[in-house]
Structure 1
Amino acid sequence: MALSYKSRRRLALLILVLGLPGYIVVAVTVMNWLERPSIWVELAVYIGLGVLWALPLKAVFKGIGQADPDAPPQDHED
């Protein structure tokens, strides 16, 4: 079942406002539990985690910045 444009916009906002900060807190907490690796390993892990969250959510964010494709066309009269 495909989400409507309006539902995807709301879900994307919810993910960005609540999900992403939560994911960041979890990622930093997990990294703090581990023994401190070298700076390059730590940087690689953070970059990997930074990309990893977006891959499963790509379909939600795709086309969100565009106009609603289901909306009726608007006439611009001057």
Structure 2
Amino acid sequence: MRYKARKRLALFVLVVGLPAYIVVAATIMSQASRFPLALELLTYIVLGIGWVFPLKRVFIGIGQVDPDAENDQ
């Protein structure tokens, strides 16, 4: 995937996808009072870091200089 496409996708994920994920996670955790303590802790851990792994490739190198840009020097 090209740099600009990854950058746009990363922005979309952060602006639209992450808030939607937070709503889903909060809905799931509103039911957590019925879970045993260990299962509730595991659910918090999975929901807290689980979204990163599928999107890891999208965010790699986004803060770097565009490698596709021509070097004018």
Which of 53, 56, 60 pairs up with 1:55? Answer: 53
Task: Give the Cα separation in 1 of the matches to 2:60 and 2:14.
Answer: 14
| Unaligned stretches of 5+ residues in structure 2 | none
The residue type paired with residue 11 of structure 1 is L
Task: Give the Cα separation in 2 of the matches to 1:74 and 1:20.
Answer: 37
Deviates more, 1:15-24 or 1:45-54: 45-54
Task: Give the Cα separation in 2 of the matches to 1:64 and 1:14.
Answer: 13
Q: Which has the larger radius of gyration?
A: 1
Deviates more, 1:40-49 or 1:52-61: 40-49
Q: TM-score, normalised by structure 1?
A: 0.78
Larger % of helix: which?
2
In the alignment, what sits opposite 1:68? 66
In the alignment, what sits opposite 1:22? 20
The residue type paired with residue 33 of structure 1 is Q
| Unaligned stretches of 5+ residues in structure 1 | none
Give the Å deviation of 1:36.
5.7
In the alignment, what sits opposite 2:4? 6
Percentage identity across paired residues of the two chains: 56
Q: May I ask how many residue pairs the two structures share in their alignment?
A: 72
